[in-house]
Amino acid sequence: MCDTEVFNAYRHRWWDMSQRRRTFISSVGTATAIGLAGCLGGDGGDGDGGDGGDTDSDGGDGGDSGPAARVGMVYATGGLGDGSFNDQAQTGAIRAADELSIEYDESQPEAVQDFGSLQQQYAQSSNPDYDLVCCIGFLQADALTETAEQYPDQNFMIVDSVVEADNVGSYVFGEHQGSFLIGLMAAKLTSQDFSAGAGSTQGDSASVGFVGGVEGDLIGRFEAGYKAGVKHAEEDVEVQSAYVGDFNDPSGGQEAALSMYESGADIVYHAAGNTGTGVFRAAQEAGRFAVGVDRDQSVTKADFSDVILASMVKRVDNAVYTSVESVVNDNFEGGAVNTLGLEQNGVEAVYGQQLGSEIPQGVKDEVSEVRQSIIDGDISVPTDPDNA
């Protein structure tokens, strides 16, 4: 299959998925309607779409002046519907469609080797012409390094990695800082008898866990911050760690987390994309707790809200929106590295919708105090698990 066939196959598959997700799309109103129109326009090649006339009327402003910009989205493996990383990125695109009147197309690769061809298809397209290609996830970095060099006039942005090229804006986050707060909370709760929702801790075990997706520098920052936060709060709390090797393996995540719960862990924090869904299942099965990532997963994975204590939210949506806004305002900075930590509200620890009110106020106060200490520079958070 040639690159164009691959590209069209993914986009066609996205269209099938978008039909299944129409109920969700309708619920967020105009913003998504414009974004959906962008996808249909891409298929038709002329902005009208072949079979999607129904979405044109949703856009309201039609095609008189055209969109403020057109954006191509290449998501991370794991796809939309993960209630986490990719969905958070899409939220930024939806917001940009609503507030900036842009249109976007999106593609969901199944494997790392698909990234390059999808990036290139957006870059070489002239009908429509894309003002920005958003590359979601650090696993796209190698492919983007080659693509950016081949298409020097195309603007790109990448989330979670730095690509040194004059036409690439890089957005990285302080995952270690937000994870430190999660570790502190977990250590405090595992050291006492605590019950809420469908979970409980065993005050005499003092053990917590971490499940990563693919091992590397990025997920290592989550693990490092988490371990350091645990140690900062309670020196003697055990931290169990495991990597599944995949961001889309819920069964693997469930197996890893169950092993930790059976070994005494009360709370397991995941940084594993859709693999984390298995961590939540394991928490319910074991009657323990879990912590989500990237979005407030007590909302996006509401079936597990009775065991999700908190989530370490990464504002990938802000990174996508900001990059698109810079293109619309004609001040896109290729080659710039944008770091979003606690101080920039790029990461934050949010308590679960169902269980948050049950967490002792004393624990919350400590989390708030430590957050400010990190921002003030009084606490330095490691990025390497070996130094945590």
Give the residues of the chain that fall short of pLDDT 70.
1-64
Q: Fold match between 69-173 and 175-313+358-387?
A: yes
Query: What is the C-alpha to C-alpha distance for residues 374 and 349, in angstroms, rounded to an integer?
Result: 13
Residue 289 contacts residue 266 (beta carbons within 8 Å)? yes
The pLDDT, as a whole number, for residue 79 is 86
Strand pairing category for 132-136 and 238-243:
unpaired
Give residues with Cβ within 8 angstroms of 86, minimum separation 6: 75, 76, 78, 79, 80, 108, 136, 273
Instruction: Report the CATH architecture of 69-173.
Output: 3-Layer(aba) Sandwich (3.40)
Q: What are the extents of the domains in the chain?
A: 69-173, 175-313+358-387
H-helix or E-strand spanning residue 118: helix 115-124
The pLDDT, as a whole number, for residue 64 is 57
The pLDDT, as a whole number, for residue 78 is 82
Distances (CA, A) of 296 to 126, 277, 349, 362: 38, 13, 9, 22
The pLDDT, as a whole number, for residue 44 is 28
Residue 308 contacts residue 298 (beta carbons within 8 Å)? yes
Query: What is the C-alpha to C-alpha distance for residues 297 and 271, in angstroms, rounded to an integer?
Result: 12
Query: What is the C-alpha to C-alpha distance for residues 273 and 210, in angstroms, rounded to an integer?
Result: 13
The pLDDT, as a whole number, for residue 132 is 98
The pLDDT, as a whole number, for residue 148 is 98
- Nearest Cα residue to 288 out of 367, 219, 360, 186: 186
Q: Read off the pTM.
A: 0.76
Query: What is the C-alpha to C-alpha distance for residues 151 and 163, in angstroms, rounded to an integer?
Result: 14
The pLDDT, as a whole number, for residue 27 is 25
Instruction: Report the CATH architecture of 175-313+358-387.
Output: 3-Layer(aba) Sandwich (3.40)
Give residues with Cβ within 8 angstroms of 71, minimum separation 6: 38, 93, 96, 102, 103, 104, 105, 130, 131, 132, 133, 134, 324, 327
